[in-house]
Amino acid sequence: MSTVSIRELSDHVGETVILQGWLTHFRSSGKIHFLVVRDGTGEVQVVVRAGKTVWRGLENLEELEQECALTIEGAVRSDPRAPSGVEVDAVELVRLAPSPHYPIQPKAHGVDFLMEHRHLWVRSPRQAAILRIRARIIQAIRRFLDDHGFILADPPIITPAAAEGTTTLFSLDYFGEPAYLSQSGQLYMEALAMALGRVYAFGPTFRAEKSKTRRHLMEFWMVEPEIAFCQFEENLAWQELLVSFVVQDVLQHMSAELKTIGRDTERLSRVEPPFPRITYDEALERLRAVGLPLTWGEDLGAPHETALAEMFDRPVFLTHFPSTIKAFYMQPDPARPEVVLAADLLAPEGYGEIVGGSERIHDLDLLLQRMKDHNMDPDHYSWYLDLRRYGSVPHSGFGMGVERVVAWVCGLDHVRETIPFARTLNRVWP
Ligand code: 4AD
Ligand code: MG
C-alpha cells in the first residue's frame, strides 16, 4: 500500500492508500465522523464510521483536536461535491501526536496575535497557498534568468560599505572592524558582470528602514540581474520580459492556490510586454492634473505611485528622475545631465515600486564626481572604482523585490504575509 499526498489522491480513486497529515476540522453526526485533514499539498474529507474504522492512539474520537497529527489508511472514492474531487473512507486511523488547546481557532484573530503565532499561522490553507505561490515566483524568476544565459553569482551578505546610501544600514562588529549587512548586492554584481557577462544575485538584503508601511520589510529577498554591454533601453526590455513571464507562469500553474486566497486574476492576465513608460516630468504633469502636485526634484511617495499606476492597465515604467533623488552610480542622460537613466517599475492596484534599476556610470571621473556630490569616501570603494579603470564598458541592471511581487500577484494587503517570517519595524519574533 502506498503513501499518497492529498494532491495526488484523485489519481488513486478505487485504491486503498495511506495519508499522513494534520486535523483541521472535526464534526460528528451520530455514528459517522467527518475529519478534514491537510498535509501541506491540500485538504481532504475523511469519513470515519464506528464499526468500519479502527482507531489507535486515542480512546475515543472526541479526543481528536485541531492540528493533532494523523496517519490514515483508507479507500479513495470520487466525490464531485468535494473541493478536491475525492473523499476517503477510513479503515484505520492512528493519532501520532496530540495537539491540546491549539492557539489558532477557526475564528477571526487579530493580525498581532497571528504574527505572534506565525510559526503556527503558516499552517493555515491561505498562508500555505501564499508560500507556495512565493516558491513558484522564485522558481519562475530563476528559470527565466537561467534560460536566458544569466549566471547565478552570489554577492557577500557581510559588506564593508553601503551600496544604497548609509541611512538604512544594519551594522555589526566584524572582529573589531565595522561591517554591515548588505542592502543590495549590486556593486559586487557589477564586478561579476565584467567577469561573466550576464549575472544575477538572489538573496536576502537588509534595510534598517524606519518606515512602518505595508510595503517595507527590514529583511527582504531581491533578485539583481546585471548585464555587461547593456544600455538603458535593453535594461527595460529585460525587466518587462521577466515580470510578464513570472506573472503568466503563476497564472498557468497556481490556479488552485490563487483560488484558495480569492485572487481576482483578471488584471494580472493583461501583464504582457510592452509596458507603458512615462518620464518623471510627465509624471509630475499627470499628478498635478489629479490634484497631487510635486515640485521638480521632489521624490514620489506611495500616494503618487498609486495614482500613477492607476492610470495604466499593466505595470508602468517611471523614468528619467532628477539625479539628486537617486543613487550615486546612475548614468546621467547625455541629452539632459540633470536626469538619470533609471527606471522604477510600478505595479498596478496600488502595490508601488516592484523593480528599481538603471544604467550605471562607467566613466571613472564622472563616478568620482558623483561620489563627491554624495559625500562618499572613494577610499571605501576603491575596488569598485577599479571596475572603471580596467576595461570599463556600459552596463545596466536592476533589483526586483520578491515580497513586493508576491504581494501584488497574490493581492495582499501587507508584505508581512509574503515571507515565512517577516522582519518588520517592531517584530523580530518568532
Ligand atoms: O530600488 P532599490 O533600492 O534598488 C537597489 O537596491 C538597486 N541597487 C538594485 C539594483 O539595481 N541591482 O530596491 C530594489 C527593489 C525595490 O524596487 C523593491 O521592490 C524592493 O527592492 N525593496 C523592498 N522590498 C521590501 N521591503 C523593503 N524595505 C524594500 N526596499 C526595496
Ligand atoms: Mg528604488
Ligand number nearest CA of 355 is 1
Q: Is the CB of 359 under 6 A from ligand 1?
A: no
What is the predicted pLDDT for the residue at 211? 82
Q: Is the CB of 403 under 6 A from ligand 1?
A: yes
Could you tell me the pLDDT band of residue 1, with boundaries at 50, 70 and 90?
Answer: confident
Distance CA 198, CA 293 (A): 40
Q: Is the CB of 418 under 6 A from ligand 1?
A: no
pLDDT (tens digit, 9 = 90+) per residue, 115-127? 999 999 999 999 9
Residue 107 clears pLDDT 90, i.e. is over it: no
Residue 378 clears pLDDT 90, i.e. is over it: yes
Can you point out the beta strands (E) in 254-394? Answer: 277-279, 316-319, 332-333, 336-340, 342-347, 352-359
Residue 114, H or E segment: helix 111-116
Ligand number nearest CA of 353 is 1
pLDDT (tens digit, 9 = 90+) per residue, 184-227? 999 999 999 999 999 999 999 999 998 888 999 999 999 999 99
Residue 356 clears pLDDT 90, i.e. is over it: yes
In what side-by-side order are the strands of the sheet with 171-174? Answer: 158-159, 177-181, 171-174
Q: What is the mean pLDDT of residues 325-344?
A: 97
Residue recorded with cell 504574527: 115
CA–centroid distance, 318 to ligand 2, in Å, is 11
pLDDT (tens digit, 9 = 90+) per residue, 269-306? 999 999 999 999 999 999 999 999 999 999 999 999 99
Residue 139, H or E segment: helix 125-147
What is the predicted pLDDT for the residue at 318? 98
Pocket test for ligand 1, best of 353, 400, 405, 412 (most atoms within 8 A of CB): 353
What is the predicted pLDDT for the residue at 166? 86
The values of phi and psi at residue 353, to 5°, are -70, 120
87 - beta bridge partners? 45, 77
Which atom of ligand 1 is nearest to 358's Cα?
Answer: 11
Q: What three-state secondary structure class fits 300? A: coil
| Closest C-alpha to 283, from 362, 344, 205 | 344
Mean pLDDT of the chain: 96
Q: What is the mean pLDDT of residues 386-394?
A: 98
Omega within 30 of 0 (cis) for the link into 274: yes
Please give the torsion angle defined by the CA atoms of residues 238, 138, 145 and 280, in that order, rounded to the nearest 10 degrees.
20
Question: Percentage of residues in the chain with pLDDT exceeding 90?
Answer: 94
The HSE-up count of residue 179 (CA atoms within 13 Å, CB side) is 12
Residue 17, H or E segment: strand 16-29
Pocket test for ligand 1, best of 183, 198, 222 (most atoms within 8 A of CB): 222
Distance CA 330, CA 359 (A): 6
The protein residue whose alpha carbon is closest to atom 23 in ligand 1 is 401
Neighbours of 304 (CB within 10 A): 22
Question: Percentage of residues in the chain with pLDDT exceeding 70?
Answer: 100
Cα–Cα distances (Å) from 359 to 137, 341, 395, in that order, read: 26, 6, 6
Could you tell me the pLDDT band of residue 106, with boundaries at 50, 70 and 90?
Answer: confident
CA–centroid distance, 342 to ligand 2, in Å, is 10
Contact in structure between 206 and 219 (CB atoms under 8 Å): yes
List own/partner pairs for 99-107 with CB under 8 A and 24 or more apart.
99/22, 99/23, 99/65, 99/66, 99/67, 99/68, 99/69, 100/65, 101/65, 102/65, 102/66, 102/67, 105/66, 106/25, 106/66
How many residues can be counted in the chain?
A: 430
Q: Is the CB of 186 under 6 A from ligand 1?
A: yes
Residue recorded with cell 564593508: 160
Residue 347 clears pLDDT 90, i.e. is over it: yes
